[in-house]
Amino acid sequence: MIVTEKITKVFDDIIAVDHIDTVMKDGSVFGLIGSNGAGKSTFLRMLAGVLKPDEGYVQIDGEDVWENIPLKRRCFLVPDDLYFLSGATPNSMAAYYASIYPKFDKARFDHLIKGFDLKGNRRIGTFSKGMRRQTALILAVCSGADYIFCDEAFDGLDPVARQTIKSIFINDMQERNMTPIIASHNLRELEDICDHVGLLHKGGILFSKDLDDVKLGIHKLHAAFNRQYLREDFPELDIMKLEQRGSLITMTVRGNSEDIMRSVQARMPLFAELLPLSLEEIFISETEVKGYDIKKLIF
């Protein structure tokens, strides 16, 4: 289990990560989402022990990660900006990581490289973006690491490769309790694999919850009335956003679905329905509450 307490990282006058507390359970997929510059990459690097927090601490199974070599052998970081040794091939990178990770599975590596139709002796520098990402992820799962930190894990992968990598992750979670922590801008790619999500914004964390709890706690309401209603006309509801076009109201509301519908039905709507929100819609709603409104950049 990964625990962070008040971890903070400052670069010059920029607070990249600001006093974040989280708990990441073993054997589940933690999805890290956030606006551009929210601190996701810096946060991942601190989890992996690449960066030292200026304040607070990161612990895995009760041990500090920073400068803990045995613990780092249980962690593998796949950064957004992939790095391979100069002139390296997949096979030479496998040999390199096998010297670091005692559980590196070379037979599985050979099997996966062949399955993804990659050439083990071809220089990685000649690979496409997607092929380089596939190589990095194969090295990660074959390392035998208990914790894999992925920054934009599926960036550049075609749909078949994305689903295959997700299936490999799920298999390793079931077989050896591997724990992936995945940061991504593409929220649709996280929705079908994450058990838990953390939303970062401007270096801080807005929430960290099970995905099912997130979806059950926020709703989109469509309703039509024979009169106009304002946000103030629903004082009992926690309305995050309200838009009205003619008689039609669209609201994003926090709370229990039965309580929301009871409140709306009391006002005799012409019709009313609650719709589930996607992870992307939840992200937009939560960040708009904090002032990150893309419409301000357009209009």
- CATH 3.40.50.300, the chain: domain bounds: 2-210
- CATH 3.30.70, the chain: domain bounds: 217-298
In the prediction, which pLDDT does 49 show? 94
In the prediction, which pLDDT does 112 show? 97
In the prediction, which pLDDT does 299 show? 38
Residue whose C-alpha is closest to residue 100's, from 138, 61, 79, 69: 69
With 0-12 / 13-18 / 19 or more C-beta atoms within 10 angstroms meaning exposed / middle / buried, residue 177 is: exposed
In the prediction, which pLDDT does 94 show? 98
In the prediction, which pLDDT does 288 show? 63
Q: What is the Cα–Cα distance from 210 to 30, expressed in whole angstroms? A: 9
In the prediction, which pLDDT does 57 show? 93
Q: Cβ neighbours of residue 20 under 8 Å, at least 6 residues apart? A: 4, 6, 7, 8, 43, 56, 200, 204, 205
Q: CATH: 3.40.47.10, 3.30.230.10, 3.20.20.140, 3.40.50.300. Which one for 2-210?
A: 3.40.50.300
User: Is 5:53 a contact under the CB 8 Å cutoff?
Assistant: no
In the prediction, which pLDDT does 287 show? 64
In the prediction, which pLDDT does 95 show? 97
User: Which residues of the chain register pLDDT less than 50?
Assistant: 292, 294-299
User: Is 151:141 a contact under the CB 8 Å cutoff?
Assistant: no
Edge-to-edge strand list for the sheet holding 204-210: 75-78, 147-151, 179-183, 30-34, 196-201, 204-210
User: Is 15:203 a contact under the CB 8 Å cutoff?
Assistant: yes
In the prediction, which pLDDT does 155 show? 87
In the prediction, which pLDDT does 201 show? 72
> What pairs with residue 251 in β-bridges?
221, 242
Q: What is the Cα–Cα distance from 18 to 205, expressed in whole angstroms? A: 8
In the prediction, which pLDDT does 290 show? 54
For residue 48, count other CB atoms closer than 10 A to its CB: 23
**Conformation bin of residue 289: beta by default, left when phi > 0, alpha when psi is -120 to 50:** alpha
Predicted TM-score of the model (pTM): 0.77
Q: What is the Cα–Cα distance from 291 to 286, expressed in whole angstroms? A: 9
Structure-token pair, residue 157: 């992968």
In the prediction, which pLDDT does 128 show? 95
CATH code for the part of the protein at 217-298: 3.30.70
